[in-house]
Amino acid sequence: GLKFLIGAQTQALIPDRDGRVMAVQFKDGSEIPADLVVMAAGIRPNTALAEKIGLHCSRGIVVNDTMQTITDPRIYSVGECAAHRGIAYGLVAPLFEQGKVAATHLAQ
């Protein structure tokens, strides 16, 4: 069967003699046997500078549909640090589209 350990903090993947995973060790010292391990790692945008200057941040620098910050429309945010409609994507592909949206708006 499958076992989902949401939020578990992995310490190490323990290999067998052939180098294949045989167990997962967690930071609390516990271990579970495993034939396959699937891990998902998210990003956490660094919003310290934005917060320091008073921009509204929630999972990233909050922007509108033209990528302007909702706090100050003179400031734009794109990429991993931007949060659009509650989502900070953390991927490269959306950055290109966000950049196009911001550039188009700036050119108007």
Residues 6 or more apart in contact with residue 80 via CB below 8 angstroms: 43, 45, 60, 88, 89, 90, 95
> Do 70 and 97 share a domain, yes or no?
yes
Number of domains forming the structure of the chain? 2
pLDDT in tens, 17-58: 999 999 999 999 999 999 998 876 667 889 999 999 999 999
> Do 53 and 10 share a domain, yes or no?
no
> Do 87 and 55 share a domain, yes or no?
yes
> Do 35 and 58 share a domain, yes or no?
no
> Do 52 and 90 share a domain, yes or no?
yes
> What is 1-16 written as a DSSP string?
-----TT--EEEEEE-
> Do 15 and 56 share a domain, yes or no?
no
Instruction: Kindly state the DSSP code that residue 69 receives in the 8-state scheme.
Output: B
> Do 34 and 53 share a domain, yes or no?
no
pLDDT in tens, 53-81: 999 999 899 999 999 999 999 999 999 89
Closest of 32, 103, 35, 33 to residue 67, by C-alpha: 103
For 82, the domain range is 48-107
Supply the pTM of this predicted model.
0.63
> Do 66 and 16 share a domain, yes or no?
no
CA distance 65 to 101: 8
Q: What is the pLDDT of residue 90?
A: 77
Q: What is the pLDDT of residue 1?
A: 72
> Do 37 and 62 share a domain, yes or no?
no
